Amino acid sequence: MEYTQLGRTGLTVGRLVLGTMNFGPQTDEPDSHAIMDAALDAGINLFDTANVYGWGENKGRTEEILGSWFAQGGGRRDKVVLATKVYGNMGPDGEVWPNHDKLSALNIRRAVDASLQRLRTDHIDLYQFHHIDRATPFEEIWQAVDVLVRQGKILYVGSSNFPGYKIAQANELAARRGGTIGLVSEQCLYNLAERRAEMEIIPAARDYGLGVIAWSPLHGGLLGGVLKKQAESGRRASGRAVEALSDPALRARVQAYEDLCDKHGVEPGETALAWLLTRPGVTGPIVGPRTADQLASALRAVETELSPELLSGLDEIFPGPGPSPEAFAW
What is the average per-residue pLDDT within 245-262? 94
Q: Closest Cα to residue 258, out of 230, 278, 292?
A: 230
Please give the single-letter amino acid code of residue 57: E
Dihedral sign for Cα 139, 142, 146, 151, please: positive
Residue positions annotated with a catalytic role: 53
Give per-residue pLDDT as tens, 184-208.
999 999 999 999 999 999 999 999 9
At the fourth CATH level, which superfamily is domain 3-220+267-310? NADP-dependent oxidoreductase domain (3.20.20.100)
What's the pTM value of the predicted model, to 2 decimals?
Answer: 0.95
Burial, 305: exposed, middle or buried (Cβ in 10 Å; 0-12, 13-18, 19+)? Answer: exposed
What is the average per-residue pLDDT within 256-279? 97
Dist CA 222 CA 252 (whole Å):
12
Dist CA 123 CA 126 (whole Å):
9
Among the residues of 28-137, which ranges form H helices? 29-41, 61-70, 76-79, 105-119
Give per-residue pLDDT as tens, 48-77.
999 999 999 999 999 999 999 999 999 999
Give per-residue pLDDT as tens, 100-156.
999 999 999 999 999 999 999 999 999 999 999 999 999 999 999 999 999 999 999
Burial, 46: exposed, middle or buried (Cβ in 10 Å; 0-12, 13-18, 19+)? Answer: buried
Residue 86 DSSP SS3: strand
**Which of the pair, 240 or 264, is modelled with greater confidence?**
264
Backbone phi, psi, residue 240, to 5°: -60, -30
